[in-house]
Amino acid sequence: MDLAYTEQQDAFRAEVRAWLEQNVPAEPLPSFDTEEGFRLHRDWERKLNEGRFGMVTWPEALGGRGCDLIEWLIFEEEYYRAGAPARVNQNGIFLLGPTLMEYGTEAQKARFLPKMATGEEIWAQGWSEPNAGSDMAAIRSKAVRDGDHYVISGQKTWSTRAVWADWTFGIFRTDPESSRHRGLTFILVPLDAPGVTVRPIPQLDGLPGFAEIFFDEVRVPVENRLGEEGMGWNVAMATAGFERGLMLRSPARFQETARRLVQLYRDNRAAADIDPTVREAVMRAWMDAEAYTLNTYMTASRLIKGGKIGAESSTNKIFWSELDQQMHETALSILGARAELKPHSVGAEGVGRWLDGFLFSQAGPIYAGTNEIQRNIIAERMLGMPRA
């Protein structure tokens, strides 16, 4: 064990920091759940890629830097420290990208990864359906083989950023006789294909951050299948593994939130201390963000040495999502009677972005597998408790 960065790692950090200082927009971009914001975030992805900072863990041939997970963590730390824009293509680069590298053919990798890296193609994920939420194996949307095409019909929902995205990936039932986890196939679908209809769904903040996707006999070439026919569940689980495991929420994000929370508390101390529990909650935010960081470094080190992510990764999802809720609740309680005010509205000086963050933190325990589902997984697969 050696909990200090190497000179090489320090140099990498300095390089990232310098580049971000030069390039991060001075003013925060508008939300990527608006048309303009989406376009600006797409532009940002291209710029990042030009600096070869789009996906640092990817191989150099694909515009990456072949970084290991520790360097990825360093990159993320600098990224959040610099207040750089949110990653509009995170479904692509963090989830589908690694899955493609594991299951994709060479032709698929060459076709999809470079455009993913530049932001030219932004990805939405299509797992959930109206009747397949937590119970994802209840998927009914079907893909019927017709020569060298699949013909897709059905409906996906809650698909994040699908309103302006270019592609979606998801699993579809290719074997009509099958049920549950069998007979599903992982397919990549262009959202501009004839027969696709995307209907925006406004989220808590009123913006269309996700969408329903309707498929009416959409023809997709067989080359767009990832992995074998009927093996879609396994491929999807690998993707969900990346999501829960490490890449979806890097610790830097929560460390920065905790730092801002400490600052908010210090700036409003007299009012905040009227509730004696606030100080402890702020301190705990720091402790938990620190614990999450340490844990992630430990996991990253283990993976670098050839370890695998197991069911214990379900503890991550619970930990960060509840931490995020707790931090934002605490922030709002410090802001007191002004907490309800939208930024830029009358009387809202100094409320910052806490309200938006609070709203979004309510989704954390729901998406990427609800926390109840994660607790089931922990109990049954990590602790080995009896199945229901």
Ligand X SMILES: Cc1cc2nc3c(=O)[nH]c(=O)nc-3n(C[C@H](O)[C@H](O)[C@H](O)COP(=O)(O)OP(=O)(O)OC[C@H]3O[C@@H](n4cnc5c(N)ncnc54)[C@H](O)[C@@H]3O)c2cc1C
Question: Which residues belong to the active site?
Answer: 243
Rounded CA gap, 35 and 283, in Å? 38
Min separation Cβ 267 and another protein, Å: 12
Nearer CB in complex with ligand X: 137/287:
137
Given the complex with another protein, which of 110 and 304 has the nearer CB atom?
A: 304
Using the contact rule CB under 6 A, the part of the chain among 42-50, 158-166, 329-337, 377-385 near ligand X is 158-166
Cα(247)–Cα(371) distance, integer angstroms: 18
Rg of the chain over all Cα atoms, to the nearest angstrom: 21
Cβ neighbours of residue 274 under 8 Å, at least 6 residues apart?
A: none
The answer to the question of residue 133 lying near ligand X (CB under 6 A) is yes
Nearest to ligand X of 132, 291 (CB atom): 132
- Closest CB 195 distance from another protein, rounded Å: 41
Give which of another protein, ligand X, none residue 126 binds (C-beta under 5 to 8 Å, depending on kind): ligand X
Among 40, 370, 380, 381, binds ligand X (CB under 6 A): 370
Residue whose tokens read 């797992």: 127
386 binds, options another protein, ligand X, none, Cβ within 5 to 8 A by partner type:
another protein
125 versus 174: smaller Cβ distance to ligand X: 125
214 scored as a contact of ligand X (CB under 6 A): no
Footprint (CB under 6 A) of ligand X, residues 97-126: 125-126
The number of residues that bind ligand X (CB under 6 A) is 18
**Nearest distance from C-beta of residue 321 to another protein, angstroms:** 11
Choose between 1 and 337: whose C-beta lies nearer to another protein: 1
First-to-last C-alpha distance (Å) of the chain: 41
Closest to another protein by CB, 36 vs 280, is 280
Q: What is the DSSP letter of 70?
A: H
Binder among 134, 178, 277, 345 for ligand X (CB under 6 A): 134
Q: Does 159 bind ligand X (CB under 6 A)?
A: yes
Between 297 and 360, whose beta carbon lies closer to another protein?
Answer: 297
CA distances from 16 to 22, 117, 119, 293, 314 (A): 10, 18, 20, 19, 30
| Residue 286, contacted partner among ligand X, another protein, none, CB below 5-8 A by kind | another protein
The count of other CB atoms within 10 Å of the CB of residue 217 is 11
Encoded tokens for 17: 């920091």
Q: Does 205 bind ligand X (CB under 6 A)?
A: no
Other C-beta atoms lying within 10 Å of the C-beta of residue 319:
18
Residue partners of 269: CB distance under 8 A and separation at least 6:
none
- Of positions 367, 379, 381, 382, contacts ligand X by CB under 6 A: 367
Instruction: Supply the DSSP symbol for 214.
Output: E
**Site for another protein, rule CB under 8 A:** 1-6, 9, 13, 70, 74, 76-78, 80-81, 251-253, 255-256, 258-259, 262, 265-266, 279-280, 282-283, 286-288, 290-295, 297-298, 300-302, 305, 312, 315, 318-319, 372, 374-376, 378-380, 382-388
Strand 167-173 relative to strand 123-126: parallel, antiparallel, unpaired? parallel
In the complex, the smallest distance separating the C-beta of residue 14 from another protein, rounded to whole angstroms, is: 11
Asked if 16 interacts with ligand X (CB under 6 A), we say no
* 128 binds ligand X per the rule CB under 6 A: yes
Identity of the residue numbered 169:
F
> Which residue pairs, CB below 8 angstroms and at least 24 apart, start in 60-65?
62/109, 62/113, 62/114, 62/117, 63/114, 63/117, 63/118, 64/117
Token digits for 341? 């005010």
In sequence order, which residues have a C-beta less than 8 Å from that of residue 285 and are 6 or more positions away?
257, 258, 261, 262, 323, 326, 327, 330
- From CA 80, how far away is CA 49, in angstroms rounded? 17
Question: What is the 8-class DSSP label of residue 137?
Answer: G
| Residues binding ligand X (CB under 6 A) | 125-128, 133-134, 158-160, 210, 363, 366-367, 369-370, 372-373, 376
